[in-house]
Amino acid sequence: MTHEKDIESPVSPELHEHHHHDGECCHHDHGEAMDLLDVVGAHQRILELESQLTQLKDESLRALADAQNIRRRAERDVENAHKFALEKFVNALMPIVDSLERGLSLIANDETQKASYEGMQMTFKMFEDTLAKFNVEVVSPEGQPFNPEFHQAMSMQENKDVEPNSVIAVLQKGYTLHGRLVRPAMVIVSK
């Protein structure tokens, strides 16, 4: 049997050294390639994380905008609820206002009812002032152009003294609450 020590290497010691040195070079080149792959991988990971960050920022901004919109909508709903909470109550008062006005018109020229007329008129004025305090406004458009948003035409009549499509008589006053129509004015319109 032959031992390794006994066999001479066909490669000279200088070449062997060079080969060993080249081996280190190759090992070194291989290390540089691995480092380069690590850098490329890390760069790719950075790009992925930046993309995720951008997406999360966008989602966060959208969520924030949605939350602000919901808050604003809720505030507006609460404000409208406060503003228009009286709408049913105001509607319930309209027949009383109409009745007071009819009563006043019936006794306006009756001298025997003068004291009653003055008392009713004061009551009616107080009633109107109270409605005005709560932003209930009268819609009585006689002489104004017809506005279908606030007026309900009951009939049309020829009238050469006014422009066509003008309100020539108010049969029943209308009312608004904070600018929103509670009841349209019932009117007669010129042809």
Write down the pLDDT at residue 81: 84
Residue 129 above 60 pLDDT? yes
- Tens digits of residue pLDDT in 2-25: 444 444 444 444 444 444 444 444
Answering whether pTM is above 0.85, one says no
Cα–Cα distances in Å, from 16 out to 4, 10, 11, 20, 27?
A: 16, 10, 6, 6, 16
